[in-house]
């Protein structure tokens, strides 16, 4: 009987609501005798039953989902970390983290199981609600620039510039360069909100001097000039023709002696004014650069610069009168005119010539040339001239041979290259 009443009570149960896999039973009638509502278990598989206010309450086990009255199946996950980074754990299932999370036209980027919503490029709005295409000019409204500036959108970037007549930092604000003279440096004055030079062109005469005192210009003519410094200052001279003979040069708009000052010519040099031109020269007993320094003559100066020809050397010497003069000679092994050019000779020793020649004055010459006497014969042997009288002649082969009347001999030597042989 008790079992029948329990079954009737379960059949009369009304389901009030279902949430998160939990079902609460509301029986319409119970027996007056108390029994455990969860025994036997009225719930499905993978569930748990608990008593709440005398009623059995069925729910899925942790990590399971489904209908607790019939069957609960094991879920994919329990926490977000059980899912890939792009998904989150909802009702024990790994679901797309971005599904339904962002607004219209918005982009969703999953980051560590969290949906990050953002508006696409060139779009603006609340990404969680809706994004719309951006008007580039909106970047300047409200203006990101400071006061007295102009905002322009260039390549989708707001660019700030100061308005004409203003300067400063466009991002923080621009202002006039000056409001009064005291906003400018001591040498400037404020004109049309700009600092300009107090001595700007046209303030004084072109040749006048301009000085600034308390932001105001003062004009004066230079020393040696005269006239109105605000209109014209005239110089003592404009050309050499305006100057007197004792000061013939017009230099720096003033008449001066070109040799005055002591720094025109070098040390010990003479300066002579020829018109407006200074002529510098060393005294007769000196030499050197008259624009740098003059010094007494030395013998070595006779050869500087070298007055001799090519391949010649210069040495200090004297002429026939005993006066010092440079002496030019050809270098060893060279011959020619030492004043113009010396050429390298044929030889420097006899061995460089043929066997019948000798090296004389760096030239290969016949050893018999001019060595023997009149009517004598000369034979060259190993660069030695041998003089002898021809057959039928007698005498001194070095001076003269005569028709033979008595027996004589011959001499030879070489100058020693001509020898005398007695026959």
Q: pLDDT category, 418, cuts 50, 70, 90?
A: very low
pTM of the model: 0.29
Q: What is the pLDDT of residues 254-295, one digit of tens each?
A: 888 888 877 789 999 999 888 888 899 999 888 889 999 999
Q: For position 409, what pLDDT does the model report?
A: 44
Q: For position 33, what pLDDT does the model report?
A: 63
Q: For position 119, what pLDDT does the model report?
A: 92
- Please state the rounded mean pLDDT for residues 19-35: 50
Q: What is the pLDDT of residues 131-157, one digit of tens each?
A: 988 888 888 888 899 999 999 988 888
CATH architecture of 299-345: Ribbon (2.10)
Q: For position 34, what pLDDT does the model report?
A: 65
pLDDT reading at 12 higher than 50:
no
Whether domain 355-403 has CATH 3.40.50: the reply is no
Q: What is the pLDDT of residues 41-52, one digit of tens each?
A: 899 888 899 998
Q: What is the pLDDT of residues 388-412, one digit of tens each?
A: 999 888 889 889 999 876 444 444 4
* Start-end of CATH 2.10.25 domains in the chain: 299-345, 355-403
3-state secondary structure the chain: CHHHHHHHHHHCCEEEEEECCEEEEECCCCCCCCCCCCCCCCCCECEEEEEECCEEEEEECCCEEEECCCEEEECCCCCHHHCCCCEEEECCEEEECCCCCCCECCEEEEECCEEEEECCCCEEEECCCEEEECCHHHHHCCCCCCECEEEEEECCEEEEEECCCEEEECCCEEEECCCCHHHCCCCEEEECCEEEECCCCCCCCCCCEEEEECCEEEEECCCCCEEECCCEEECCCCCHHHCCCCCCEEECCEEECCCCCCCCCCECCEEEEECCEEEEECCCCEEEECCCEEEECCHHHHHCCCCCCECEEEEEEECCCCCEEEEEEECCCEEEECCCEEEECCCCCHHHCCCCEEEECCEEEECCCCCCCECCEEEEECCEEEEECCCCEEEECCCEEEECCCCCCCEEECCCCEEECCC
Q: For position 77, what pLDDT does the model report?
A: 84
Q: What is the pLDDT of residues 298-345, one digit of tens each?
A: 888 888 888 999 889 999 988 888 888 899 998 888 888 989 988 888
């Amino acid at each position: 009987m008790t079992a029948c009443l329990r079954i009737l009570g379960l059949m009369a149960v009304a389901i009030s609501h279902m949430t998160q896999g939990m079902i609460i039973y509301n029986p319409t009638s119970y027996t007056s005798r108390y029994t455990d509502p969860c025994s036997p278990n009225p719930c499905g598989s993978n569930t748990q039953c608990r008593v709440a206010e005398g009623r059995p309450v069925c729910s899925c086990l942790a990590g399971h989902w489904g209908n607790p009255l019939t069957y609960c199946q094991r879920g994919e996950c329990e926490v977000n970390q059980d899912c890939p980074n792009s998904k989150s754990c909802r009702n024990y299932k790994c679901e797309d983290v971005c599904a339904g999370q962002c607004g219209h036209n918005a982009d969703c980027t999953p980051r560590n199981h969290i949906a990050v919503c953002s508006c696409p490029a060139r779009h603006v709005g609340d990404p969680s609600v809706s994004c719309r295409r951006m008007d580039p000019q909106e970047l300047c409204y409200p203006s990101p620039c400071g006061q007295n500036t102009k905002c322009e959108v260039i390549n989708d970037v707001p660019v700030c510039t100061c308005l004409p007549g203003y300067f400063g930092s466009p991002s923080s604000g621009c202002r006039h360069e000056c409001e009064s003279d005291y906003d400018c440096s001591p040498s400037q004055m404020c004109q049309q909100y700009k600092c300009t030079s107090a001595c700007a062109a046209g303030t004084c005469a072109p040749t006048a001097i301009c000085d600034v005192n308390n932001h105001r210009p003062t004009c004066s003519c230079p020393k040696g000039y005269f006239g109105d410094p605000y209109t014209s200052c005239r110089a003592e001279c404009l050309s050499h023709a305006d100057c007197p003979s004792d000061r013939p040069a017009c230099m720096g708009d003033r008449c001066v002696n070109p040799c005055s000052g002591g720094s025109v010519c070098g040390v010990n040099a003479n300066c002579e004014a020829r018109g407006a031109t200074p002529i510098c020269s060393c005294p007769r007993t000196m030499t050197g650069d008259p624009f740098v320094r003059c010094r007494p003559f030395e013998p070595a100066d006779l050869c500087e610069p070298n007055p001799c020809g090519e391949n010649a050397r210069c040495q200090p010497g004297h002429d026939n009168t005993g006066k010092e003069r440079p002496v030019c000679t050809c270098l060893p092994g060279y011959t020619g005119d030492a004043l113009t050019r010396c050429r390298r000779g044929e030889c420097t020793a006899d061995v460089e010539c043929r066997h019948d020649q000798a090296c004389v004055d760096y030239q290969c010459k016949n050893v018999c040339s001019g060595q023997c006497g009149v009517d004598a014969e000369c034979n060259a042997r190993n660069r030695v001239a041998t003089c002898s009288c021809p057959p039928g002649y007698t005498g001194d082969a070095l001076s003269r041979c005569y028709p033979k009347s008595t027996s004589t001999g011959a001499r030879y030597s070489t100058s020693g290259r001509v020898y005398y042989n007695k026959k």
